[in-house]
Structures are given as C-alpha cells and as structure tokens.
Amino acid sequence: MNSIYRLALLGTLLGSAAMVQAADLKVGYINTERVYREASPAMAAQKKLEREFAARELELKKLAARGKELEGLIARNKTNEAERKAQERELASVDREYQAKMRDFRDDLNQRRNEEYASVQERANRIIRQIAEREQYDLILQDAVYVSPKLDITVKVLKELEK
C-alpha cells in the first residue's frame, strides 16, 4: 500500500515538472497559405507569372475557341460529306495541338511558380528565424491541422515581408 502512494506521489511530481517546463515553452504558428496569398512579394510573383504566361494563355483560348467553332459546324451538319470529314480532321488536329500546348503550359507554369515561390519561401523563412530569435520563440510551426489564434504570428511575418 505504501508503494502505491509513493508511485502516485512520484507521478504527480513528474506531471507537475512537465507542466512547469511546458509553461516556459514559447510556441508560434505561421499560416504559409496566407503568406503566399497576402504577402506583397508573393503577389508580385503572381503578377509576374501572369504577365509571363499571358500570351500562351491567349493562344490556348484561341485554340479552344476554334475547337468549339468546329464542333458547332460539325453538329449543325449543314455541309457535304467531304467538308464534314475535313472539319472532323481539323477538329482532331486542333484538339491534339490544344492538349499538347496545355500540358506544356501547365508544366512550365508549375516550374516557374515553384521557382518564384521558392524565393518568397526563403525570404519568409529568414524573417521567421529573425522573429524567433528576437522574440525568443522555442518553436514555430507551419501548416498544422489546428492552432489556437493566440499562437498565430503570421501577421508579424507579413509585416516584415512588406519592408
């Protein structure tokens, strides 16, 4: 019986020590998605990508419009058999060209987006480390399932990124 009390007392003391140590832990949280959405360097990167890929996007839209036009002509079926076959071949050609260009467009856009956002991420991480050192954080998390709003320091990072 005496050993049960000792174990209970030991458990209580260890639990109390862990709570005291945890109370000294300073934790912060960064919402990375919000940084990518609201930070001026991220918005500038997005605008740069839009300008860079605008001509290719316009070309894709023109190809899509031509495909729809051909589909409409074929659906109305007011042409002779030879013209209809030619329109179907052109539609198949336009569709292949569209699919190939769309695939290349997506690949190139994703690669460039990753390049642009890597520099934003690098700068944000540098700022996060500076904030952590300056304000003596023990741990800063990114992308968690749930975090109390009182731990969120995203606004501090966004302000620093604006400088």
DSSP secondary structure, 63-121, as one string: HHHHHHHHHHHHHHT-S-HHHHHHHHHHHHHHHHHHHHHHHHHHHHHHHHHHHHHHHHH
For residue 18, tell me if it sits in a domain. no
pLDDT tens, position by position, 16-60: 444 445 568 999 999 999 998 999 999 999 999 999 999 999 999
For residue 98, tell me if it sits in a domain. yes
For residue 14, tell me if it sits in a domain. no
Alpha helices by DSSP H, listed for 24-80, are 32-38, 40-76
The three-state DSSP-derived secondary structure of 10-39 is HHHHHHHHHHHHHHCCCEEEECHHHHHHHC
For residue 83, tell me if it sits in a domain. yes
Distance CA(125)–CA(128), nearest Å, equals: 5
For residue 20, tell me if it sits in a domain. no
For residue 82, tell me if it sits in a domain. yes
Distance CA(82)–CA(76), nearest Å, equals: 15
Number of domains in the chain: 1
Residue in the structure block whose two tokens are 């990072």: 157
Q: Please say whether the beta carbons of 160 and 135 come within 8 A.
A: no
Structural domain span for residue 148: 25-162
For residue 76, tell me if it sits in a domain. yes
pLDDT of residue 145: 87
5, 51, 63, 106, 110 from 114: Cα distances, Å? 59, 16, 27, 12, 6
Look up the CATH number of the domain holding residue 120: 3.30.910.20
Burial of residue 146, with CB atoms counted within 10 A of its CB: 0-12 exposed, 13-18 middle, 19 or more buried: exposed
pLDDT tens, position by position, 102-159: 999 999 999 999 999 999 999 999 999 999 999 999 999 987 888 899 999 999 999 9
For residue 104, tell me if it sits in a domain. yes
